[in-house]
């Protein structure tokens, strides 16, 4: 045995002796084994800084719940849109259907996947690209640009027009069988191409496969409405909107949002992504004719500036983050000062890497999308605490919302979506410039779920 390469008996004895020599280690062990790591690392003084006083507070309706699904990006997008409807018509609460975009996202992602299969027929099955494409062809996750593509093509509908189903509230089984079917489709297409099938025949096969996908989705989610009736009453029970609408007509009338005005800003301080440049991610998207995503990479201070500007104009802000970092979930607090794991353990864990290093080494990516609906400002106008609308139901956190410290924003917020009018002239020009294409597996291609 090479003792320099193996864990030896002496190593174990030394580690045990070193651990037991410190009283703090014994206290930490007893606390963590009894209460759990995060509860033992909770810092009450840090928690106390997350009081519920905000200078801007955009009150939403009843809290929504994505249940056992990865639809946070849809919920966040729809929550920014429903706020417009509630404000326009004076509604106490309102909810748009999350099942409706789920249906078309699965359909469009299936087509996107099969198009990628046809585009990579010459790639080896054992190569990294095919392994990536086959890993999760129609997962629940997504990003703002993908949601924008869905709404542009299919519109939106009230929740009553396409309510939740067992398969929308818990997508695991539906995703499992749809994924299996699509992988079998990939096999058939590659085998047919290898046998000499022409492009026209392969495309005809793909259309038949998509018909099967539609069949599966209707079985699981129900038939999407083509037209529906609407009768909205305001807080005083006055009828404020009535009529029959297509989904596209309802979006135009009720939401009245210029989709192309809203752009994605990211903050990724890695060496391969200079700030002030636009980026896209190869093979990331859902609606084939709309193409892929586009970002502008800026410093965190700029993301905060434009988010505050949009909040001041009484519009909430879609954002993406790594939600589980330094997070007291039961209390709805995201704050680097509210948890001190490093002192509990006696060595650097959370403090062992900076933001760029966490991205480069796979420790942190965007995992969740939510909505900024408020902010507390200091005397100099700088943000101190953000109020966040989550999509985990009214029983989560603080009546369904979280708080996010400004220091946490710096470390774990990766994306915001705002009206491009808040950007400087130079920033708009950079956003519209030819984007740098990132690899499909780049951290900025991770989907919020």
Of the candidates 286, 297, 390, 449, the residue annotated as catalytic is 390
Mean pLDDT within 340-362:
97
Mean pLDDT within 238-259:
98
Residue 43 has a pLDDT of: 97
CATH class of the domain comprising 91-257: alpha beta
Of the candidates 64, 220, 297, 368, the residue annotated as catalytic is 368
User: What percent of the chain has a predicted confidence (pLDDT) above 90?
Assistant: 98
Q: Does 1 score more than 80 pLDDT?
A: no
**When comparing pLDDT for 73 and 61, which is higher?**
73
When pLDDT is cut at 50, 70 and 90, the band that residue 59 belongs to is: confident
Residue 60 has a pLDDT of: 84
36-65+260-449: what fold? Cathepsin B; Chain A (3.90.70)
Residue 411 has a pLDDT of: 98
Per-residue pLDDT reduced to its tens digit, 166-201: 999 999 999 999 999 999 999 999 999 999 999 999
36-65+260-449 and 91-257 agree in CATH topology: yes
The C-alpha atoms of residue 419 and residue 307 are separated, in whole angstroms, by 9
Per-residue pLDDT reduced to its tens digit, 98-146: 999 999 999 999 999 999 999 999 999 999 999 999 999 999 999 999 9
Mean pLDDT within 78-106:
97
Domain limits of the chain? 36-65+260-449, 91-257
Verify whether residue 25 is a known catalytic residue: no
When pLDDT is cut at 50, 70 and 90, the band that residue 2 belongs to is: confident
Of the candidates 72, 185, 220, 321, the residue annotated as catalytic is 72
Verify whether residue 111 is a known catalytic residue: no
Verify whether residue 198 is a known catalytic residue: no
Mean pLDDT within 403-419:
98
Residue 25 has a pLDDT of: 96
**When comparing pLDDT for 2 and 289, which is higher?**
289
């Amino acid at each position: 045995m090479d003792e320099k390469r193996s864990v030896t008996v002496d190593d174990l004895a030394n580690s045990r002796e070193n651990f037991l020599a410190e009283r703090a280690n014994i206290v930490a062990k007893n606390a963590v084994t009894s209460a759990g790591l995060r509860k033992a690392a909770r810092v009450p003084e840090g928690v106390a800084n997350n009081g519920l006083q905000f200078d801007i507070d955009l009150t939403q309706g009843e809290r929504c719940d994505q249940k056992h699904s990865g639809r946070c990006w849809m919920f966040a997008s729809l929550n920014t849109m429903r706020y417009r409807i509630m404000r326009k018509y004076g509604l106490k609460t309102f909810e748009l259907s999350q099942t409706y975009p789920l249906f078309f996202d699965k359909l469009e992602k299936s087509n996107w996947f099969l198009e990628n299969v046809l585009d990579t027929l010459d790639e080896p099955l054992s190569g990294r690209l095919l392994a990536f494409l086959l890993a999760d062809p129609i997962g629940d996750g997504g990003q703002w640009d993908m949601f924008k593509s869905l709404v542009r093509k299919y519109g939106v509908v009230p929740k009553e027009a396409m309510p939740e189903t067992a398969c929308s509230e818990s997508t695991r089984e539906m995703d499992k069988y749809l994924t299996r079917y699509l992988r079998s489709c990939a096999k058939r297409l590659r085998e047919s191409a290898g046998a000499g099938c022409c492009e026209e025949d392969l495309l005809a096969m793909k259309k038949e496969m998509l018909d099967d996908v539609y069949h599966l989705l209707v079985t699981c989610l129900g038939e999407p409405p083509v037209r529906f009736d609407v009768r909205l009453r305001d807080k005083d029970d006055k009828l404020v909107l009535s009529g029959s609408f297509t989904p596209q007509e309802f979006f135009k009338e009720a939401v009245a949002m210029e989709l192309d005005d809203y752009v994605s800003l990211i903050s990724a301080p890695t060496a391969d992504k200079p700030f002030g440049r636009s980026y896209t991610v190869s093979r990331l998207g859902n609606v084939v004719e709309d193409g892929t995503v586009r970002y502008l990479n800026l410093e965190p201070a700029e993301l905060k500036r434009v988010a505050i500007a949009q909040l001041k104009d009484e519009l909430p802000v879609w954002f993406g983050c790594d939600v589980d970092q330094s997070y007291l979930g039961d209390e709805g607090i995201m704050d680097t000062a509210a948890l001190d794991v490093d002192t509990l353990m006696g060595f650097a864990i959370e403090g062992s890497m900076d933001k760029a290093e966490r991205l480069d080494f796979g420790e942190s990516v965007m995992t969740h999308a939510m909505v900024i609906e408020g902010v507390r400002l200091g005397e100099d106008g700088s943000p101190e605490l953000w109020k966040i609308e989550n999509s985990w139901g009214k029983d989560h956190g603080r009546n369904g919302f979280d708080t996010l410290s400004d220091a946490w924003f710096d470390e774990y917020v990766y994306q915001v979506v705002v009206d491009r009018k808040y950007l400087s002239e130079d920033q708009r020009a950079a956003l519209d410039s030819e984007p740098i294409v990132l690899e499909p597996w780049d951290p900025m291609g991770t989907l919020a779920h």
